[in-house]
């Protein structure tokens, strides 16, 4: 796999993974839906779990394409976390705002 393909694969994986906690109502994507719905702190924990999984996938891709892992300081991880938060914005907006507006619009017809 080329370096460019690995980067695009990782970006796509990060975009999907960052939005999954807000698009799924099942805690940890496996458990049954709670009667009162999934709490926000569970969504945040899932989001952090997905961040860790994408980080592991990125490290695996780096090891495979480069043959070694580069040392990263804290600044790198803060920037990557902020980028992951930006990637999660569409799912967050859909869950907290857009879904409500779409339901109102369907009822109004």
Domain ranges of the chain: 3-108
| Mean pLDDT per 10-residue segment, the chain (109 residues) | 89 96 87 85 94 96 92 95 96 85 75
The pLDDT value given to residue 90: 94
How far is Cα 98 from Cα 79, in angstroms, rounded to an integer? 27
How far is Cα 53 from Cα 30, in angstroms, rounded to an integer? 16
The gap from C-alpha 85 to its chain's centroid, in whole angstroms, comes to 8
The pLDDT value given to residue 109: 64
- Return the closest-CA partner of residue 87 out of 6, 24, 21: 21
Q: What pTM, to 2 d.p., does this model score?
A: 0.85
- Return the closest-CA partner of residue 15 out of 89, 73, 105: 89
Residue with tokens 């394409």: 65
């Amino acid at each position: 796999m080329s370096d460019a393909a690995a980067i695009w694969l990782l970006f796509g994986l990060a975009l999907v993974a960052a939005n999954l906690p807000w698009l799924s109502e099942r805690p940890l994507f496996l458990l049954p839906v709670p009667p009162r719905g999934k709490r926000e702190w569970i969504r945040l924990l899932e989001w952090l779990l997905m961040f860790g999984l994408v980080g592991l996938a990125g490290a695996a891709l780096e090891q495979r394409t480069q043959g070694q892992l580069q040392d990263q300081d804290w600044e790198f991880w803060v920037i990557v976390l902020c980028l992951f938060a930006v990637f999660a914005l569409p799912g967050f907006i859909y869950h907290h705002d857009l879904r409500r507006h779409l339901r109102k619009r369907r009822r109004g017809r």
